[in-house]
Structure 1
Amino acid sequence: MEILKVEFFVMAVFALAISLLLPSIDAQSLAPAPAPTSDGVAVDQGIAYGLMVLALLLTYIIH
């Protein structure tokens, strides 16, 4: 059982090291993203999400 714990620890350290090192291997400077344009869709979607959460909470409270 102790060997299993040691193997898990070694694999966790290995996974952490790989996850920290691999992104730096392919480091490239990308072009900046274009400026966002507001056409009102994001606002409408935000209001819709808010209303859905409100409906979910009311349904939970009623039941």
Structure 2
Amino acid sequence: MDKTLLMILLLGLLLSFIVAPFSGLALLMIFLLVSAVLWTGWTLVSILIRGKTSDSNS
């Protein structure tokens, strides 16, 4: 799952660099890429927080 998500993010970044100068949808693509990165970061942080709380409760 992590490799798939990373591959999607890398492809989105590559497409945004290729298409951005020529497309009116470049802002939408960049917004979607930033949203995906923030969602991934929030997911990782929440996993770390849950891991720390479960360790302290044990």
TM bracket, shorter-chain basis: 0.3 to 0.5
Q: TM-score, normalising length from structure 2?
A: 0.44
Greater RCO (Cα-Cα under 8 Å, separation 6 or more): 2
Greater Cα radius of gyration, structure 1 or 2: 1
Q: Higher helix share goes to which structure? A: 2
